[in-house]
Each structure stands twice: as structure tokens, then as C-alpha cells.
Amino acid sequence: MNVNVTDDSSAFLALNDTSAYADGSGDKLALTFDSDATVTGDGINKDSDYSFTGVFSIRNQGNQPVKVWIVDDDGNDAVEWYGTDTNNKSDFSTLMEDPGNTYQLDIGERVFVNVVIFLKDNSAGDLPTTIEVVADESGA
């Protein structure tokens, strides 16, 4: 078997940073919601809910259509992931979390990921430490 392993932005399912909250400079895309060059604050408030648009994108660079979704390790649903076809579009109607909420990507298509963080009823310890972007060609 011959398998090439590459970084997130060069894979068949490419993950690209499209906001100041995402960093694709390493092997893996990293998301950080604290101070950055575009804001003067240091993070998000306790006991509040936040929404972020166009945090990162997922592009199908493979050779077949796929359905994609996100799995995170927050047991309390402290974060939700939404897909939209345009960067910086405040659209939170297409949930793409878990296999029951997929986003169809044809060859070459991209989805931008919007993120909602719920800290009104959760604490920072409830936030996910990792997420997994899953693609499945069956039924796509």
C-alpha cells in the first residue's frame, strides 16, 4: 500500500484558515478564540454566547462528491458548527455537526464554517479541545 500524508490545506479534503481565528500554518488547522490583530479584546465573555462567521473552510479536492460533517469532543453542546456557501455570511441555518447533519460538496466545492459558542449555560472547560472533519462519499 502506498499512502501520501499531507497537511490539512493540501489534502483531498482541504481545511483552510479564512479568518483571524483559524491558523493553517502548521500540519493541522488550529482554532483560537482569544486576542488577535483585528480586535482589542482578549477573548470571549463568561456567561455569554458568541457567533463567528467564516472561521475556516472545507474544500473537496478529491475526485468524487462527498458529504462532510464535524464531530467535536464537547459533551455539553457548548459549540455548534454551521455551513454556508459564502465567507462572512451570517447564516446559522445549516447545522453540520454529527452524521445526521451533513453538507454536500461536489468536486472542487467549498463550504465555509460558522461557529457558535455557548458560554451562557457552559464554562470554558466544556469547550471542545479537538474537532474532526469527516467526509463520506456513500450517498453523496
Average pLDDT of the chain, as a whole number:
86
Cα–Cα dist 90/69, whole Å:
19
Domain enclosing residue 101, as ranges: 8-136
Q: Is residue 44 part of a domain?
A: yes
Q: Is residue 2 part of a domain?
A: no
The pLDDT tens digits of the residues spanning 97-131 come to: 989 999 999 999 999 999 999 999 988 888 898 89
Query: Number of structural domains, the chain?
Result: 1
Find all residues with CB under 8 Å of 2, minimum gap 6, and list them.
none
- Let me know the angle formed at the C-alpha of 33 by 72 and 70, rounded to the nearest 5 degrees: 20
Q: Is residue 73 part of a domain?
A: yes
The pLDDT tens digits of the residues spanning 29-43 come to: 899 887 554 556 677
Q: What is the mean pLDDT of residues 64-93?
A: 92
Q: Is residue 72 part of a domain?
A: yes
- What's the CATH code of the domain at 97? 2.60.40
Specify the pTM. 0.88
Q: Is residue 39 part of a domain?
A: yes
Q: Is residue 3 part of a domain?
A: no
At residue 126, φ and ψ (nearest 5 deg) are -85, -10
